[in-house]
Amino acid sequence: MKYLIDTNVIIEGLLEQEKVDQVWELFQKISLSQMAITDFSLHSIGVILFRLKKMELFISFFEDIIIDGIMVLSLDISDLKELYKIAQRFKLDFDDAYQYAMAEKYNLQIVSFDKDFDGTERGKKEPSGVLL
């Protein structure tokens, strides 16, 4: 099984928030080659960290995680028309619909703390659920 890691999981770990232990255990036990993030997540992480004046943390994340093997996936322009349908069907916002479409396209398990995915057909697992 390959995993699509949602933006909030990465941010939780990088900013050492409440569930940081779950995040770091996930990254220790699951190979980076079994994980992916979307280009949208990569850009969102950059926006968040730059806004917090944590540019060095973004560079460190990029060098340690992205360059070392986590896949960065993009939707094709032709895939973007599906976002509206997904958003309507599951009542998701744009970024969650983008993640969901990517998981559908590549048959990935969504790993997220976002409860909005709970109402979808694919669902999601929190990092602790992946480790069971």
Q: What are 26-51's pLDDT values in tens digits? A: 999 999 999 999 999 999 999 999 99
Longest dimension (CA), the chain: 39
Q: What is the DSSP code (8-state) at residue 94?
A: H
Q: How many CB atoms lie under 10 A from the CB of residue 89?
A: 13
Distance CA 22, CA 93 (A): 25
Q: What are 6-26's pLDDT values in tens digits? A: 999 999 999 999 999 999 999
Domains of the chain by start residue, with CATH: 3-130 (3.40.50.1010)
CA atoms within 13 A on the CB side of 117: 24
Looking up tokens 């999981």 gives 9
CA atoms within 13 A on the CB side of 40: 18
DSSP-derived secondary structure for 24-72: HHHHHHS-GGGEEEEHHHHHHHHHHHHHTT-HHHHHHHIIIIITTT-EE
Q: What are 83-97's pLDDT values in tens digits? A: 999 999 999 999 999
